[in-house]
A = this chain, B = another copy of it.
Amino acid sequence: MTSEKSNRVWRLAARPTGNEFDTALRLEEEATPVPQVGELLVKNRILSMDSGTRMYMTDRKDSYQPGTPLGAPILGTVIGEVAQSRHPAYAEGDLVRCYGNWADWSIATPETLYTAKLDGKEPNLAEYVGILGANGWTAYLGVVEYGAARAGETFLVSAAAGCTGSMAGQIAKIAGCRAVGLAGTDDKCTFLKNDLDFDDAINYRKGALVDSIAASCPDGINLYFDNVGGDVLDAALSNMADFGRVAVCGLLANYSAEGPVPGPYKFDLVLMKRLTVQGFFSPDFYHREPEINPVLRQWRDDGRLKLPIEETVGLENTIAAYTKLFIGANIGKVVVRV
């Protein structure tokens, strides 16, 4: 079934500077991997493009897992079919979501948190890394549980046209909040307001953001869902209402940083406004998929939760797809169809 040099694999050739993934990543041809006892060989169909992967390209000591060693394959969430099973609970042909490689093939270990058998009901497999995947759970729990959104509150989300951000805003609306999104182009803002029913959207590249937020959120922000950190977080902190909450989902602005990055200059406001700032991320709640996905699926089927999916075809085009996340070129979820 497998042959020599039948697996193309993106490997980390050098630690990237900024968004220069062209020189940092290298596509190599090699032998298809062989699953050991307890493992699966997975034929990759969809690669999920996630900004967090950027952190592991830099070897940050602060990160929650070690940096990717130079020369190692890039790891990420993939969807594929089991081509060979050496685990009793899986059979050839099973559809799985797992932590695999940016490659034609992955080896998956079902004994880890990350491998899940999929129900196969979705015509578009990318849904399993979209509304029904980690971004969906992150948006859901970040708004509903960590953020404890309540009806009547003002909700702000950064990277609002991105996968997690766009869902977070819609879920905040479902929770009864007034939802405001930050995005980097007027087109994205129009999309958020017209297509996703956000109450307002602000182009953070135009004018003084702290003033734009103040104008849009005159009573202050009760819940800020942050995907980016940096200056945008400072502008949000300046506009928090007393006793507001900041759900820290991502710090995109810092992922490329090499040296020490100062925290928000408005950190004092955590005390002055008695804020709660909480970090959270999806590996902590992967096990809650069976509970969360029926809710998300229902909202989607009711037309209350939408997620555009931008699909790039061809493993060889992965860098172009991945770069989109960092230059603000995408709306919704970015995937590569292998």
* A binding-site residues for B, Cβ under 8 Å: 62-64, 229, 248-251, 254, 260-281, 284
Q: List 11 A-B contacts (CB under 8 A).
A: A62-B272, A63-B272, A229-B267, A249-B271, A262-B262, A263-B264, A263-B265, A271-B280, A274-B278, A276-B276, A277-B277
**Set of chain B residues within 8 Å of A280, measured between Cβ atoms:** 271, 274
**Set of chain B residues within 8 Å of A63, measured between Cβ atoms:** 272
Closest approach, in angstroms, between the C-beta of A290 and any C-beta of chain B? 22
Please pick, from B62, B273, B275, the residue contacting A269 in the complex, using a CB distance under 8 A: B62
Bound complex: CA A180 to CA B14 (Å):
42
- Do the beta carbons of A277 and B278 come within 8 Å of each other? yes
**Set of chain B residues within 8 Å of A281, measured between Cβ atoms:** 271, 274
With A64-B273, A276-B276 already in contact, the answer to whether A268 and B284 are too (CB < 8 A) is: no
**Set of chain B residues within 8 Å of A248, measured between Cβ atoms:** 270-271
**Set of chain B residues within 8 Å of A251, measured between Cβ atoms:** 267-268, 271
Closest approach, in angstroms, between the C-beta of A268 and any C-beta of chain B? 5
Please pick, from B64, B267, B269, B274, the residue contacting A264 in the complex, using a CB distance under 8 A: B267
**Set of chain B residues within 8 Å of A278, measured between Cβ atoms:** 270, 274-277
- Do the beta carbons of B265 and A273 come within 8 Å of each other? no
- Do the beta carbons of A270 and B277 come within 8 Å of each other? yes
**Set of chain B residues within 8 Å of A267, measured between Cβ atoms:** 229, 251, 261-264, 267
Closest approach, in angstroms, between the C-beta of A275 and any C-beta of chain B? 5
Bound complex: CA A211 to CA B265 (Å):
26
- Do the beta carbons of A271 and B265 come within 8 Å of each other? no
Bound complex: CA A193 to CA B281 (Å):
38
Which partner residue on chain B sits nearest A277 by CB separation? B277
Which partner residue on chain B sits nearest A250 by CB separation? B271
Bound complex: CA A259 to CA B234 (Å):
15
Which partner residue on chain B sits nearest A259 by CB separation? B265
Bound complex: CA A279 to CA B245 (Å):
11
Please pick, from B64, B263, B265, B273, the residue contacting A279 in the complex, using a CB distance under 8 A: B273
- Do the beta carbons of A279 and B272 come within 8 Å of each other? yes
Closest approach, in angstroms, between the C-beta of A99 and any C-beta of chain B? 18
Please pick, from B261, B265, B273, B284, the residue contacting A260 in the complex, using a CB distance under 8 A: B265
Which partner residue on chain B sits nearest A234 by CB separation? B263
**Set of chain B residues within 8 Å of A275, measured between Cβ atoms:** 278-279
